[in-house]
Chains A and B, each alone.
Chain A
């Protein structure tokens, strides 16, 4: 494994030098040019960036808000060391104009270096999505010390389940929009090998999508663990569903409280969950599990993508920083009908979703309530925010049950340092 890693590194270094010499032109022309037809490098010169500039006039996403012809002109011919281009980063945003009410991000990274090479467009997009977080001046705090959490036990008359999820990327391998089949299989190998070292309450088993039996599939569906081939055009246009279901799979511990998705929208998605309201325990397992997995892959010379400006590096800029979504399924029959509900959520920096997850509607009076922020605040801060916020919501619900009045809380400080 480590020797593959060094080989990969040296391959990339060569490409870095070549890319540095003449943007994409040299890199593409150092492969054979046949006599018929025009080479890729020459082709590019026939079409100035203005000819290729996307028509974003009807678009409503962070990419469209930030991209200008000048920035496109500067970045179009650049390539990351893995030969990933700007057009490939933005294809999903060009293909999906967005919704007047929901502002999607509109671009993805193909590798860790995308955030660097295309910083001129990623930085304003990150700023837009993450409440003014400026990667050029700010640092992101990482804190996975779950002992700092207080009041992490909810009233189970209201909270039905608790869950914390994040993502992790394996440094040195391209991300889902860009990865080759071999890289994707490498991610699977590295992670599954690491997970096989987990013990005690974390010990578990891997179910590859290509090899699982009918029975295993049914069980995973019943447990609500199975993920499907993405159908959202936001994901398919970014190339994340290529070669499905090759090298995709689900790992979970025997107790079904710690779950990892491999090669879905990110290299890994890590989920800790359980029925009931013990968020502190969920988060404790989350932190412990993550640290264990990290230690196990480091033993073999691998590590997670992370830096002090952007925190954990994931495919979508919306998941940078902590990549963390901590949430509960909570019953709020009275509060959810109160006209102040949305304002209360806003001020608590919380977000509501239906119990089917993102872009679903609530069923009955049960909502999925989770943190809005991802970047600029640590994991501990965000989970504490959810705990304090949900406790406040339950308090409101109880007050309304007794026909007492509730008040809108003051806004929680935004993630600015």
Chain B
């Protein structure tokens, strides 16, 4: 909740024992890491904007999780959360991001020219290509904690920045609370419209407060560059197009991001970033690059092969259904994207997708001809760092 110590000092009248959450039935990263000692140490702290450890963990307390899926279970309320509550968040980050240490440094590389290939993925198999990330605007609290005034300020600044773009980036902003029915229909048909979050993971963190105030969608005329304002993060930036030209998608992504960043910097509100965590976002799972680069690809034979999961693991890729996270695949078409977010750069991660998908399409072709793919199974790619 914004701008207050939210009852926090009042809580200090009660013992740690009395306040400590019951996490015995929980299965998320926060529950695995938080101890009474840690809670005792952090409970009287707060960030400069008043975010407390209970605010950080509320979503994890309210959502015990799933026996098979490890959710994160905590969020940041502002940039300083990652510093003030590092005793809790560093181990959570380490668990979530393959052992990333508190002393590790993250590499940022948005130079699209460093990507090799990526323009020759077979469009008979690769139906569409997409790269997304998030950005937080320095000086404002994050979606779990911001006030209406702050959220509106983020919207205003973002729209100003986006409206100043030209060339292939020229576009228009559609605020959620005042779009016409016709505009809404079109955005749904384009698969651009985002809805009020229903996931209790997000609701438990307070991100849907005041919906749909100061939320909106901006996209360019070509419908290849799209920005979500004030959904789960301040900004979600998406570059996408039909077919397999990931190189073009990534170029547009990098150029667009850099142009937007320049404008924010001019207003003394650049993006939140530091050399340890890379780009700062609300959920610790999106730190580093916050990048998910992926394709919708037809792999009906490969996906039923006994080694499919192993191949994905070795390539450091992840599969999802074509509806996105937590959906199933339809008709042998999968969403394949990078599994890593931190410890490797944007170029590294997209390279991973490009190389991995190219290989998998070749495997699919081999399987179509009835041939074996055993000799093509890749070695395990090293994890970042």
B305 is an interface residue with CB less than 8 A from chain A: no
Bound Cα distance from A174 to B2, whole angstroms: 19
Bound Cα distance from A236 to B200, whole angstroms: 10
B58 proximity list for chain A (CB < 8 A): 242
Q: Is the CB of B84 within 8 A of A34?
A: yes
Interface residues of B in 237-295 (CB under 8 A from A): none
A47 is an interface residue with CB less than 8 A from chain B: yes
B337 is an interface residue with CB less than 8 A from chain A: no
Q: Is the CB of A242 within 8 A of B61?
A: yes
B15 proximity list for chain A (CB < 8 A): 182
Interface residues on B, range: 35 or more
Q: Is the CB of A88 within 8 A of B1?
A: yes
- The residue in A32, A33, A43, A183 that gathers the most chain B C-beta atoms within 10 A of its C-beta is A43
Residue of B at shortest CB range from A245?
B22
Q: Is the CB of B9 within 8 A of A15?
A: yes
A44 is an interface residue with CB less than 8 A from chain B: yes
Interface residues of B in 16-52 (CB under 8 A from A): 18-22, 44-50
A378 is an interface residue with CB less than 8 A from chain B: no
Q: Mark A85-97, 1 if CB is under 8 A from B, else 0.
A: 1011001001100
* A11-B10, A180-B14 known; A40-B209 Cβ under 8 A: no
Return the contact of B148 from the options A38, A54, A85 (Cβ within 8 A). A54
The B interface is mostly helix, strand or loop, or mixed, namely loop
Return the contact of A183 from the options B14, B50, B78, B80 (Cβ within 8 A). B14
Interface residues of A in 185-213 (CB under 8 A from B): 185-186, 210
Q: Total A-B residue pairs with C-beta atoms closer than 8 Å?
A: 136
Residue of B at shortest CB range from A241?
B62
B98 is an interface residue with CB less than 8 A from chain A: no
Q: Is the CB of A47 within 8 A of B150?
A: yes
A8 is an interface residue with CB less than 8 A from chain B: yes
Bound Cα distance from A88 to B49, whole angstroms: 16
Q: Is the CB of A38 within 8 A of B21?
A: no
Q: Is the CB of A40 within 8 A of B61?
A: no
B208 proximity list for chain A (CB < 8 A): 95
Q: Is the CB of A243 within 8 A of B21?
A: yes
Residue of A at shortest CB range from B50?
A40
Which A residues fall within an 8 A CB radius of B?
A: 7-8, 11-12, 15, 24, 27-28, 31-34, 36-40, 43-44, 47-48, 51-55, 58, 79, 82-85, 87-88, 91, 94-95, 174, 178, 180-183, 185-186, 210, 236-237, 241-244, 246
Which B residues fall within an 8 A CB radius of A?
A: 1-11, 13-15, 18-22, 44-50, 54, 58, 61-62, 78-80, 83-84, 139, 141, 147-150, 152-153, 177, 203, 208-211, 213
